[in-house]
Amino acid sequence: MVEIHQIPVLADNYIYLIHEPASKTTAAVDPALAGPVLAALNEQTWTLTHILNTHHHGDHVGGNLELKARTGCVIVGPRAERDRIPGIDVAVAEGDHFSLGEATAHIFDVPGHTRGHIAYWFPESDSLFCGDTLFAMGCGRLFEGTPEQMWRSLGKLRVLPSSTRVYCAHEYTQANGRFAVTVEPDNQTLRERMAKVDELRRRGFPTVPSKMGDELATNPFLRPESPAIRRSLGLMGANDAEVFGEIRRQKDRF
Ligand code: ZN
Ligand code: FE
């Protein structure tokens, strides 16, 4: 089992520290900045050994080079974006396993937000680090991919155990939820979740990680088969990828 420490940075990013106590291995997931990571490591008395990047955007790799210079950590990132990940040492892709001491991450290719985006799943710790692919009640924008691609990517994540903790890279939950209720206004579970999210945010608490089971029940981007959503979009006969694509287009304009 690993310990996970959450660091809020910039306007709405989360960096995660994953600590595997048996080997004293510690990884930073998507370090936007070096300073807050160094401060948190110091506070936890952990030593950085790895960086795990999900994709090449600056708010996910901005701290790579400074952290590597200061700690000598090994940088792991997506093979399909290896030219765009500063300081990358180990390039991984779908089907690879990466060991963090005694903890093992399974790698998924999840293109859509970017061409080479990957996700790290730690089955023994029931934890998924999915960057900007799946968000609490939302999903990433399609900067470098098609709706079909993103839908296939989300399909790899939504079949993980419903107990899986979803560690996404942004605190977008409240805005995502406001959109979600317009797509599926009669989803009572969604409304109840939204009330809890509003309360957490009012008190300044994170809404991340979430549970995959809650995403399956409330995240419209994982629910294109829902008859209520299809009815509200007027897409009764469309396939799941088409419904997904329409939800994504509406969110872009919301
Ligand atoms: Zn991004
Ligand atoms: Fe991001």
Ligand 1 center–CA 62 separation, angstroms = 12
Can you give the residue ranges of every domain in the chain? 3-253
Tell me the pTM.
0.98
What lies within 8 Å, CB to CB, of 166 at 6+ separation is 128, 130, 134, 136, 208, 209, 210, 211, 212, 215
Counted residue by residue, the chain has a size of 254
**What residues are labeled active site?**
55, 57, 59-60, 113, 132, 170
Ligand at minimal distance from the CA of 172 is 2
| Superfamily designation of domain 3-253 | Ribonuclease Z/Hydroxyacylglutathione hydrolase-like (3.60.15.10)
H-only helix segments in the chain: 35-44, 58-61, 64-71, 147-158, 173-183, 188-202, 212-218, 227-233, 240-253
Q: Measure 23 CA to ligand 1 centroid, in angstroms.
A: 31
Note the pLDDT of residue 1.
87
Task: Supply the pLDDT for residue 211.
Answer: 98
Q: How far is the CA of 14 from the centre of ligand 2 (A)?
A: 9
Q: Quick one: which ligand is closest to 59's CA?
A: 2
Return d(Cα 224, Cα 234) in angstroms, integer.
12
Q: For the chain, which ranges sit under pLDDT 70?
A: none
What single-letter DSSP state applies at residue 74?
E
